[in-house]
Every structure is written in C-alpha cells, then in structure tokens.
C-alpha cells in the first residue's frame, strides 16, 4: 500500500511562516504526497512565496480564493485534494519528518476498517517571539483515549483542563471518505472541536499513534491570544454543541457555567443571556452564593451586577481590608449561617 496523502495549508497573511511549514512536508520520509496551499485572500506576499515553492517541487500546488475564513479554506482545499488520506496543517506550524509514514504504519492489517479511521498523535507546543525565535517548548503527550474521554475533553476549554487538547488538526490523518462532514463556516475558531465531536458521535474510530508528530506554534498573532474573540466563539460553540445531543449538553455544563459567570463579571449582556438559554438549572452565581432556578433569576442577577459594586458580589474584587469588613458583617448578621435556599431565585 502506498496511498496518496494530501496535506492542506490554508493561508491568510502568513507568508513569513509558509516556507518552513512546506519544507517540513516535502522532507517527509513518506513521499507519495501533495501539499496544497490555499490562499484565503491574503494581502501579503503569500502568492509569491507559493510560486517559488512550486518551482522547487511539483508536489506543491497553489490555489487562490476570496477570503472566507479558516473553515472555508479547509473545505476548499479538501475539494482540490486527490489523496486517500488528508491532513490539515496551519502555515505557522510544522510536522515531524516521519509523521506520515509512522501514522500510516498503524493502518496495516486494518484494511477492512480503514475507511472509518482517524489517526492522531502527540505534539509539541512551541512559543515564538515576533522574530520567530523559540522562547520555550512544551511537550503534550496525549495517549490512547476512549471515545467518551475524547468527547469530554473536547467540550472543556483548555484553560479549565488538566490535560492537553487531544485532537489538533495538525496531528490528525483522516480518511477522505470521512470528510463528507465539512468544517463549520459559522465558527471562526474551535472548528477542530466541532469537527471531531461530530465524527466521534457518528462512531468514527480514533487511533492513537505515539509520536510527537506536530509542532504547534503560539505567538501574539494567534487568534487564540485574543480573549474577546475566543469568548464570543466559545459561546457560539456551546450553543451549537448543546443542541446536538443530550450527552454533549451535559458534558458542556461546567464550561457553560464558567462562561456564564465570566460574561456576568464583564457585564457582557448579549453573551450572558445567550448562555442563559442553554444552561441547566440550578446555577450558582456570585462565587456560588446566589442560586438561580428560573429565567427571572438570571435577569435579577444581571441587574444586581449592574447596580451593585463589584466588590460586594465577588471576593476577587476585594482588598484585604474590605474582606475583613465583610467577614465581620458576616459574623454579626450570621450571613454564613443562612440556609442555602434563602438566596435561591
């Protein structure tokens, strides 16, 4: 077996990263592959870099499209790909030279099941400065996870989890037949989670291949570095996932409750009430003191947040002196001894 592998690079204003990424593809020990560059309406010199790379190796192909976002570019690249196996790779990342061969070796003997398989591996997070100098490296070993473990982890934001994100697109090698499922164009971020969750729900077999196969960079221009941007997409993500099935809704609850509290702290009215539509009751707000049991409770909590000083609602907003005053009044009025239901709404 020597199947063609298509590696898709959606590119948007990442010209200064592309060459290193493409070189890591062309240096693969597995050589029957094509590298498909999708220029998603870049305004830098992406085209010039791509044309240079095409002259160096016929396996590099270049396509231009109007800007439509990462999901749109990936879906466009899949349409242009000819491989039996497909990988998506961001242009500011790169892959281990033996990744493709090593992962495909795990398919041997599984020919009867190979159409329903996705291969995934470990990766290294590489932190870069503005000049692409490596500041530090962080290995992320995933290990072999069950379907339920993968689903649970995908529904938890990375900053709330104790384990690394398990299914980076950079780490996955996917059978073409499975890509009738498209990347969600409504999501500007978190597309990898949504895509993998749909495949897990449909019974696709995810096989762990123990190699640090991808190098995922982190730098100031990453979309994930923008808190407001990520917050908005997380809200949309949980709206989408909570409607799919009961299991997704239940496993999303810890994250939805976290974001609900964050939007309340920030007085982000729009996202707060969007999350209130998908969370299950009861919900404890204001450091767990105020319990909401109905829609009116969410309205009341938001009004309290607007009209009361933040330090009266949250411990993190109080200094030492203010906290001592609160503790004193708690003792005097025995607030800490009130029954839990006394603040239920």
Of residues 317 and 10, more confidently modeled: 10
Domains and CATH numbers, the chain: 5-224 (3.90.550.10), 225-343 (no CATH)
Q: What is the average per-residue pLDDT within 215-242?
A: 82
| 282 pLDDT more than 60 | yes
The arithmetic mean of pLDDT across residues 277-298, rounded, is 92
Contact 144, 208 (CB under 8 A): yes
Helix (H, G, I), strand (E, B) or coil at 25: helix
Do residues 36 and 64 touch, judged by C-beta distance below 8 A?
no
Whether the Cβ atoms of residue 98 and residue 115 lie closer than 8 Å to each other: no
CA distance 338 to 296: 22
DSSP structure class, residue 344: B
Higher pLDDT, 295 or 345: 295
What pLDDT is attached to residue 23?
96
Tokens of 332: 């005097």
Give the Cα separation of 303 and 79 in Å (integer): 50
Per-residue model confidence (pLDDT) at position 111: 65
Q: Tell me, what's the pLDDT at 128?
A: 87
- pLDDT confidence band for 222 (50 / 70 / 90): low
Residue 221 has a pLDDT of 59
In sequence order, what are the residues at sequence separation of 6 or more whose Cβ sits closer than 8 angstroms to the Cβ of residue 11?
Answer: 18, 37, 38, 39, 40, 42, 46, 50, 73, 91
Q: Residue 62: beta bridge partners?
A: 37
CA–CA distance from 314 to each of 282, 305, 341 (Å)?
Answer: 19, 10, 19
Of the chain, the percentage scoring pLDDT greater than 90 comes to 73
Residue with tokens 């009867």: 112
List residues bridging with 122 in a β-sheet.
212
Q: What is the mean pLDDT of residues 144-172?
A: 94
The Cα 204–Cα 134 span in angstroms is 36
Residue-wise pLDDT for 190-199, tens only, equals 999 999 999 9
Residue 145 has pLDDT above 60, yes or no: yes
């Amino acid at each position: 077996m020597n199947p063609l592998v298509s590696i898709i690079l959606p590119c948007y204003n990442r010209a200064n990263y592309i060459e290193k990424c493409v070189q890591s593809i062309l240096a693969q020990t597995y050589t029957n592959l094509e590298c498909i560059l999708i220029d998603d309406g870049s305004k830098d010199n992406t085209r010039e870099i791509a044309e240079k790379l095409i002259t160096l190796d016929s396996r590099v192909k270049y396509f231009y499209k109007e800007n439509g976002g990462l999901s749109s570019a990936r879906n466009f690249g899949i349409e242009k790909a000819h491989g039996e196996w497909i990988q998506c790779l961001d242009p500011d990342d790169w892959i281990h030279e033996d990744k493709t061969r090593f992962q495909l070796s795990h398919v041997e003997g599984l020919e009867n099941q190979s159409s329903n398989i996705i291969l995934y591996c470990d990766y290294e997070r590489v932190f870069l400065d503005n000049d692409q100098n490596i500041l530090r490296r962080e290995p992320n070993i995933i290990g072999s996870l069950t379907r339920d473990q993968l689903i649970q982890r995908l529904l938890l934001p990375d900053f709330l989890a104790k384990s690394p994100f398990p299914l980076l697109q950079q780490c996955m090698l996917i059978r073409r037949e499975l890509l009738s499922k498209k990347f969600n164009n409504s999501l500007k971020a978190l597309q990898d989670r949504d895509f993998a969750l749909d495949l897990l729900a449909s019974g696709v077999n995810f096989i762990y291949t123990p190699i640090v196969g991808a190098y995922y960079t982190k730098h100031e221009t990453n979309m994930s570095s923008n808190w407001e941007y990520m917050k908005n997409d997380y809200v949309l993500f949980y709206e989408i996932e909570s409607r799919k099935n009961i299991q997704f809704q239940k496993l999303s609850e810890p994250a939805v409750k976290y974001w609900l509290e964050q939007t309340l702290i920030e007085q982000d009215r729009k996202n707060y009430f969007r999350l209130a539509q998908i969370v299950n009751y009861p919900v404890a707000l204001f450091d767990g003191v105020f319990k909401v049991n109905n829609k009116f409770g969410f309205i009341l909590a938001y009004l309290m947040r607007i009209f009361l000083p933040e330090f009266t609602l949250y411990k993190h907003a109080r200094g030492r002196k203010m906290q001592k005053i609160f503790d004193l009044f708690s003792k005097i009025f025995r607030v800490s001894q009130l029954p839990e239901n006394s603040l239920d709404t």
